[in-house]
């Protein structure tokens, strides 16, 4: 234990995480080996091993037997429900992205939000309510809550120029993401923001993201049923993806009653 109260392995972890967050270490860059940490930092092999093992468990690095330890390439490790930037998706379709920010404020966390973010009673969170548009048509209502000390500059951001998801990912590598997908009939407030009538269902995605071993953001993402589809194509890292199925093929394959 050090004078600052942090064990040496934790100091090593924070040093390497700091280099990753600053951009000094990029995805797929080699991280110092156990031997290099032992010699450069004057620590035991057990301490160096624990630091690298926990960094691997937390998703910051990948250890390849006989080769070395490398910064995780989060994009290569993506899956069907990866954390995506809706602005990028819209622009990849050749369409125009825009956003309307309805709320951007600090507020006391409700019991529901405290539970989702594992926060203590009396905690403040940042609340952001944004409508994302494709060619001027609302396609997603983002109702997001962010832990205050994780993103202290949240209220100063212009979320018409960068999405909350993209900005949060840029602050720190996200370690985990949890998605719950539901079909729902939205309430009046959601319908008005999305410009849909009371007969139209929505696809609701509940999303939590983790960084530094704790939940840092919780979002409710409402999508009009007639304007949105959830797609994904997963291949293991290093494997070439096949050509995706087209919407026309899917339509032809509808179940015949």
Domain definitions of the chain by residue range: 8-71, 86-229
pTM for the model stands at: 0.64
CATH architecture of 8-71: Orthogonal Bundle (1.10)
Report, as an integer, the average pLDDT of 157-184.
Answer: 87
Give the pLDDT band of residue 254 (cuts 50, 70, 90). Answer: very low
Check residue 85 and give its pLDDT. Answer: 83
Q: Which residue has the higher pLDDT, 194 or 20?
A: 194
| Per-residue exposure over 54-92, b if at least 16 CB sit within 10 Å of its own CB, e if not | bbeebbbbbeeeeeebbbbebeeebeebebebbbebbee
Q: Which residue has the higher pLDDT, 194 or 67?
A: 194
Check residue 77 and give its pLDDT. Answer: 38
HSE-CB at 222 with a 13 A cutoff on CA atoms is 23
Taking the C-alpha atoms of residue 19 and residue 26, their distance in angstroms, rounded to an integer, is: 9
Contact partners, residue 30, CB within 8 Å, separation at least 6: 68, 69, 70
Check residue 169 and give its pLDDT. Answer: 85
Report which listed range, 168-177, 190-199, 238-247, is most confident: 190-199
Output the average pLDDT for the chain. Answer: 83
* pLDDT tens figures, 208-251: 998 878 899 999 999 998 877 666 555 554 445 555 555 444 44
- What CATH class has 86-229? alpha beta
Report, as an integer, the average pLDDT of 13-25.
Answer: 85
Q: Which residue has the higher pLDDT, 51 or 64?
A: 51
User: What SS3 class is residue 224?
Assistant: strand
User: What SS3 class is residue 198?
Assistant: coil
Percentage of the chain lying above the pLDDT 70 cut: 81
Give the pLDDT band of residue 78 (cuts 50, 70, 90). Answer: very low
Report, as an integer, the average pLDDT of 177-189.
Answer: 90
């Amino acid at each position: 234990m050090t004078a600052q109260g942090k064990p040496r392995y934790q100091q090593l972890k924070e040093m390497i995480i700091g280099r990753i967050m600053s951009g000094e270490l990029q995805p797929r860059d080699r991280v110092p080996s156990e031997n290099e940490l032992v010699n450069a930092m004057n620590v035991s092999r057990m301490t160096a091993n624990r630091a690298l093992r926990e960094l691997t468990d937390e998703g910051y690095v990948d250890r390849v037997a006989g080769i070395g330890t490398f910064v995780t390439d989060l994009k290569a490790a993506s899956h069907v429900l990866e954390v995506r930037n809706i602005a990028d998706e819209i622009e990849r379709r050749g369409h125009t992205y825009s956003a309307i920010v309805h709320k951007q404020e600090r507020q006391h966390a409700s019991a529901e939000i405290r539970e989702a973010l594992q926060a203590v009673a009396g905690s403040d969170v940042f609340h952001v309510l944004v409508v994302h548009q494709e060619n001027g048509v609302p396609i997603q209502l983002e109702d997001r809550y962010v832990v205050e000390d994780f993103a202290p500059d949240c209220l100063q951001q212009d979320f018409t120029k960068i999405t909350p998801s993209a900005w949060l990912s840029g602050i720190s590598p996200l370690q985990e993401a949890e998605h719950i997908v539901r079909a729902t009939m939205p309430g009046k407030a959601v319908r008005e923001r999305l410009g849909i009538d009371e007969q139209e269902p929505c696809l609701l995605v509940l999303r939590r993201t983790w960084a530094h071993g704790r939940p840092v953001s919780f979002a409710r993402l409402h999508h009009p049923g007639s304007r949105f589809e959830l797609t994904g194509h997963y291949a293991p890292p290093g494997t070439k993806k096949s050509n995706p199925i087209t919407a026309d093929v899917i339509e032809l394959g509808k179940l015949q009653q």
